[in-house]
A and B are shown apart, each in its own frame.
Chain A
Amino acid sequence: MSDCERIRPLVPGYLDGELSEEQASPLRKHLLDCRACRTATQGEKALRGWFVAGEVIAPPAGFAAHVARRAFAGDRGERAPADPVGDPRSQGAVLNFVLAATAAAAVLVLLLAGGIGGVGLPTEGGLRADDVAPVTEAEVLRNLERLNRDAVGEADLVRPDPGSGRE
């Protein structure tokens, strides 16, 4: 096996900072002497320039307190998004989505809730699942939406527990 054949497989680990000094030192020495391996290493390094993360999303204020409260209230957290057409809230189509799916129920509950001013749509996604009785139109919509989501995710309740237990 030539030096080059021995060195090349070590290059990714070298660039990732995963080699011990005993491994890295002969590699560096070889790179000084070998143009082909140097070029390969530069190419490998250049490709990494393409890995750039997009803009971050910050957790909303009060997220941790909300999650801790839910955890201690026994919430099992099995409601990851399941809506195959994308998230309606982020597309400003909450009303359509909710009413289309549960029009009759919405009308009934809104009548019961009675005489409430303008429609306020829930925009604070992370803090939407309060466990209080609906008193405003926004909260009614919110709870209906939650029911929808639960209905969509029903199948998940019978599947084996996901999460870390995959060993």
Chain B
Amino acid sequence: MEPAANDDAHLVQETLAGSQVSFQLLVERYETRLFALARHYTRSQVEVEDIVQDSFLKAYRRLASFDHRSSFYTWLYRITVNTILDSLKRKGRSPVTSVEDPELLAQPAPVEGFAPSGNLEREEVAEVTRKVLEELPEIFRTVLILRELEGLAYQEIADTLGISIGTVESRLFRARGRFKEKLLALFPEFGEH
């Protein structure tokens, strides 16, 4: 079936056929989302721009290998997440911050959550979120970012990270448990009432 004139598949084809304008349209379509994604990992505008630019350049270079099995943007997310993790690694943050594989650690206590107090401004909560996420092993941070901040469905997360839906579920479960533990460790004042 012929792709519609303006959909991703068509723009990918046109780009591969040498259309710079088509690639520019793809960048325009997804730049805001990739800026938001990279922004969850760094507060530096310059770093965000570098990461997104590198991600698009890598995507262009391997466009011929995009097989349309997943959507173009989960493919793009995947490249961007890897670019981010490479960049963090170079800055000395290891993707899995302990000797043990977090997937193999004991199950955390079940999540009995608690909501942020109504007295906190949105930006204050965002700052807490950022600080807690920063303390988590990378695989937990990333799955929470994709689900909770980017709102990706399980299948999209699975496509982005190249893992099964079952792994997405179990990783999210552990990640939420760890998030709560870390939240209470960093901010005991937010403990359950």
Pair from one complex: yes
Which residues from chain A sit less than 8 Å from chain B, CB to CB? 8, 12-13, 16-18, 39-40, 42-60, 63-72, 75-84, 86-87, 89-90, 125-126, 153, 156, 162-167
Q: Tell me which of B111, B116, B123 has the highest count of chain A C-beta atoms within 10 A of its own C-beta.
A: B111
A12 and B61: CB pair below 8 A? no
Residues of B within 8 A of A78 (CB): 54
How far, in whole Å, are A44 and B112 apart by their CA atoms in the complex? 6
B53 and A167: CB pair below 8 A? no
Partner of A55, one of B123, B125, B176: B123
B108-147 near A? 1/0 per residue, CB < 8 Å: 0011111110000011011111101000000000001001
A53 and B79: CB pair below 8 A? no
Closest 8 pairs between A and B when the two form their complex, measured CB to CB: A77-B57, A47-B113, A51-B148, A68-B24, A64-B27, A46-B115, A71-B60, A80-B87
B112 and A43: CB pair below 8 A? yes
Known: A49-B113, A76-B58, A83-B91. 11 other contacts (CB 8 A): A13-B169, A43-B113, A47-B111, A49-B125, A54-B40, A55-B123, A67-B31, A71-B61, A82-B91, A163-B59, A164-B58
Interface size on B, as a range, is 35 or more
Task: Flag whether B20 is at the interface (Cβ < 8 A).
Answer: yes
How far, in whole Å, are A18 and B114 apart by their CA atoms in the complex? 22
How far, in whole Å, are A50 and B62 apart by their CA atoms in the complex? 37
Task: Flag whether B172 is at the interface (Cβ < 8 A).
Answer: yes
B71-91 near A? 1/0 per residue, CB < 8 Å: 000010011001100110011
Q: Can you offer 12 A-B residue contacts whose CB atoms are under 8 A?
A: A42-B113, A43-B111, A49-B115, A52-B122, A54-B39, A55-B123, A67-B56, A68-B20, A68-B27, A81-B91, A83-B91, A162-B83
Which of B2-10, B43-51, B98-106 forms contacts with chain A?
Answer: B43-51
A71 and B162: CB pair below 8 A? no
